[in-house]
Amino acid sequence: MTVDYKTRAAALYTGDFRPMFIGGHWVPARSGAVIEAHNPATGALLATVPRGDAADIDIAAGAARRAFEGPWSRFTPFERQALLLRIADLFEKNWEDLCLSDTLDMGMPISRTLANSRRVIGMLRFYAGMATAIHGATIPNSFPGEILSQTVKEPVGVVGAIIPWNAPIAGSVWKIGPALATGCTVILKPSEEASLTVLKIAQLMAEAGLPDGVLNIVTGLGAEAGAALAEHPGVDKIVFTGSTATGQAIARAATGNLKRVSLELGGKSPLIVCEDADIEKAVPVAAMAVFANSGQICIAGSRLFVARKIHDAFVERVADFAKALRVGDGTAAETELGPIISARQAERVGRFMEAGQAEGATLLAGGDRLSPSGLEGGHFFAPTVFGGVTDEMRIAREEIFGPVISALPFDTLEEVVGRANATPYGLAAGIFTTHLGTAHKLSRRIKAGSVWVNMYHAIDPAVPFGGVKMSGYGREGGAEHLEEYLDTKAIWIQTE
């Protein structure tokens, strides 16, 4: 049976006020100011949310500290595990509404948001399992006599989390899940472009029995609420996903009390298609490595390096694939690409497309704004493919965060390694080859936090994810992720 998501969407948000969540209570901003949330596909007003600022962050920090030192500190690992499993069950029960909220608020097609259930709900259950696996070690030492040395793992404290607008459900869980597993408390500042789903998440977590103050959601602008969170002396750690420029500002702001910082930042990821690649498999993957979520993904494989012998034919097929994609309202089942998040971001993407043509790249597909019937108030771009690109062009160097592929030919593996690594970023990379030796050689030499071979976009709760160079530091996923939220204490005991 086909679900009518358009009808369900009409009832989900009706332009009303949605308060933020601090200390277990739903509250407005102290200033009374609000931010309007608009559907990027239609321009329609969905709701208003508080425009929180430093005063609200300060209240949230107090609530988080009281919870950390109070009731939450008495939860055993097994109790934290049980809580996370209840949260996962509630996510599963309410999954369609969470996904529809994301589709309305930031535009990702409902078919794609629904498909993330294994990843997101799997994250919650993975962190639930890890909650009871946190342990220290007994370590032999070189002192004479009976002296015991051991380590224990302790939660770092109050965590400030700042997430972008391109994946609110997954972004929230990636920050909240490990914090709850380790016994930390959280103040989460969602993007002002997409706050509504995060407030629904807080509602579900409260329903699951999360104690007051363990999770606090402060909506607001990055320059106000986000900056205040990064520099607040009552916050012990900051975790941030977003642009490199903002990550640098957060790192500077965190120096006041030397709080721990984890950063997952931008990228300009290479996707390398070797001469022996399986073309039938590589074409759709190379296209959707960028076009997924309309290019609004940090790991987008936007630099498409193709072996010169197959370059023209391969890129032509990618362009044909792009032309066939259906662009429109994300609540429609047939939609494959939704809108750009905002008018400001759409203008930015448009400037890159103009720059590509001005610098001499050849436009093979797309390149223009779209106004689908009935969606004239939205922000849409045709999926775009540029050929004739050189490494020096802006579209080959800068993160666009839009549906734009820059195709570049290469001649040798040695050459393509050097060109792929000639970027300040190092978040992800892709390789297509049927030769095991080539796969091994390239994957080891590419400087990136994740390398996918004959695939792209695979993310699993048990596998660490993160970047190198200007793409940040720290890892999300895997056992390494929990270590980001823990301090190691050494304990010495003379037993005689």
Catalytic residue ranges:
264, 298
Report the distance separating Cα 277 and Cα 107, nearest Å: 33
Cα gap 220→217, rounded to integer Å: 10
Spatial CB neighbours of 260, under 8 Å, sequence gap ≥ 6: 156, 236, 237, 238, 484
Assess contact for 217 and 21: CB atoms under 8 A: yes
* Secondary structure (DSSP) of 90-107: HHHHTHHHHHHHHHHHH-
Distance CA 424, CA 429 (A): 14
What is the spatial distance between Cα 176 and Cα 387, in angstroms, rounded to a whole number? 42
Of the candidates 257, 213, 293, 286, the one whose C-alpha atom is nearest the C-alpha of residue 455 is 286
Q: In 10 A of CB 257, how many CB atoms?
A: 11
105 within 8 A of 197, measured Cβ to Cβ: yes
What is d(CA 456, CA 429) in angstroms, rounded to the nearest whole number?
8
Tell me phi and psi for residue 432, to 5 degrees: -120, 115
- Going by C-alpha positions, the residue among 27, 441, 447 that lies closest to residue 213 is 27
Helix crossing, 95-106 with 77-93: angle to 10°? 70
Write the single-letter amino acid at 138.
T
Alpha-carbon Rg for the chain, nearest whole angstrom, is 23
Say if residue 17 is exposed, middle or buried (CB neighbours under 10 Å; 0-12, 13-18, 19+).
Answer: exposed
Euclidean distance between CA atoms 321 and 365, whole angstroms: 9
Pairing of strands 369-370, 303-307: unpaired
Q: Per 3-state DSSP, what percentage of the chain is helix, strand, and coil (rounded to 5)? A: 40, 20, 35
Choose among 268, 495, 237, 483: nearest CA to 391.
Answer: 268
Note the residue count of the chain.
Answer: 496
Amino acid at 266: G
Instruction: Classify each residue of 379-391 as buried b or exposed e, where b means 16 or more C-beta atoms within 10 Å of its C-beta.
Output: bbbbbbbbbbbee
Which stretch of DSSP H or E encloses residue 307?
A: strand 303-307
